[in-house]
Amino acid sequence: MDWQLLLVALLVMLALLYLGRQMLRTWRGLGTDCGGCKRPSTAKIPNAATTETFIPIDQVCLRQRSRPPR
């Protein structure tokens, strides 16, 4: 067996082992705060009512383009 083919086969086996490990962790719920775990998330979720916007809602308006005269 050529050394390059052996190297590629080893890399493919490592990639398959990694994917299998990740798949099992996902199925068992051992991921890191991916939503599949049983413990509550510690991430801060901003309140929609208190988040600041760049433009206040009362100042937002739609502009219509003026059409050129025909």
pLDDT digits (tens, 9 = 90+) for 30-67: 665 555 555 555 556 566 556 665 777 777 777 766 77
Task: Kindly state whether residue 18 falls inside one of the protein's structural domains.
Answer: yes
Residue 69 confidence (pLDDT) above 60: yes
d(CA 60, CA 56) in angstroms, rounded, equals 7
The band of 18, judged by pLDDT with boundaries at 50, 70 and 90, is: very high
Task: Kindly state whether residue 70 falls inside one of the protein's structural domains.
Answer: no
Task: Kindly state whether residue 65 falls inside one of the protein's structural domains.
Answer: no
Task: Kindly state whether residue 68 falls inside one of the protein's structural domains.
Answer: no
33 neighbors 41 (Cβ within 8 angstroms): yes
Count structural domains, the chain.
1
For residues 66 and 16, which has the higher predicted lDDT (pLDDT)?
16
What is the model's pLDDT at position 58? 77
Name the residue range of residue 24's domain. Answer: 1-31
